[in-house]
Every structure is written in C-alpha cells, then in structure tokens.
Amino acid sequence: MLKLIISGVWVAIVTLGSVYFSIQMSKAPDPAEEEARKRAVQELVKGEVVTFPVIAQGRVEGYFLTRTSFITDKTKLADITLPIPELLTDEMYTELVGDKVIRVSDNRNFDLKVFKARVKEALNKKLGSEVVLDVIVEQIDYLTKEEILSSMSKPGSTIKSGERMVSEKAPDDVTPAKSDGGNAH
C-alpha cells in the first residue's frame, strides 16, 4: 500500500513537472526582451558628407551630396580590421557612381527604400557577412553644375539652393561607434 502511494506521488510530481516545463517552452519570447537583445549589439557608424558627380553624355551635370550613417552589428564589426567609414564611403561611390543608382534625368522618382536596400546588400556582400543592419540616409541633396558655378562667382556667397531629396535622423537608442583616429577597430 505504501509503495502504491509513493508511486502515485512520484507520477504526480513527474506529470506536474512535465506540464510546467512544456508550458514554459511553448511561451513566445518576450518581444521587448528580443528587441533589447538586438539593440545591445547595434552600433551607429557615422558617415561623412560625400559628393558624387552625376555624369551624363560624357560631362558633369551636377552633384549629389550625401551623408549616410550605418547601423552595424558591433560583434561582427569587431572582426574587421579595415577603417570602416572609409570602406563604407568607397562602397557608396561604387554603388552610386559606378552602377549609376541615381540618374539625374529621373531623380524625382528616387526610391529611398530601394536605394537603402541596395547599399546595405552591397556593403554586406563586400564585408562577407551581415555587418550592416540598416542604412540611415541623413541627407541627399542635388546641385546642378550651374547652381554651383553661379554661387561661386559671387564673392563671399555660399550655396543655398539645391534640391533636398532625402533627410532622415539616426535613431537615438543606438550607440555611436567610438572613433580612434580613422580606424573603427
């Protein structure tokens, strides 16, 4: 009789433990916790203002001025020994000038999402892994050659015209990368 009671208690404990464990395992992960874990590995790499010439029919038509920053995975970024801002700027030149992502004739139809996705994909391909998590386009302006020449002809003047195409703000909750004399790591 005592063995039967002990066996019953043992079966009840094992059953309750199994139910508790299966309920804990079947719970969906907390989205806030998942988001916090993702944010913990993110780092903002500030880009420089870069000027890209727009060349059509063998001559310069104007210039795009851009400031682009990158949200990166700092664990993967630590493995890269090259200077990150310069590497990112080089890839931007390749994508924008070499592959003519921006076309002066149809810059009114500029698709920011496609542009950001293409830059992100190209950078990650060059780096060999998913280092760049997001591209923040802080500014893209277009200045024609004539606007630049006319403003340069006036003493003490600055360029005030031009077409602002894009303006984004970097997120406040991403840690900026520390600069160490040109090399990110």
Residue 115 is classified by DSSP as H
Is the four-CA dihedral 110, 112, 117, 118 of positive or negative sign? positive
Q: How confident is the model at residue 73 (pLDDT cuts 50, 70, 90)?
A: confident
Q: Given the DSSP bridges, would you call strands 42-45 and 175-176 parallel, antiparallel or unpaired?
A: parallel
* Residues above pLDDT 90, as percent of the chain: 5
Half-sphere exposure (Cβ direction) of 26: Cα atoms closer than 13 Å: 6
- 75 is written with which tokens? 């664990």
Q: How confident is the model at residue 13 (pLDDT cuts 50, 70, 90)?
A: very high
Q: Above 70 in pLDDT, residue 180? A: no
Mean pLDDT, residues 121-147 taken together: 84
- Report the pLDDT value the prediction gives residue 12, as an integer from 0 to 100: 92
What residues pair up with 53 in beta bridges, in sequence order?
Answer: 63
List Cα–Cα distances, 57 to 105, 106, 124, 149, in angstroms. Answer: 12, 15, 32, 20
Query: Tokens 């001559």 correspond to what residue?
Result: 59
Q: Above 80 in pLDDT, residue 169? A: no
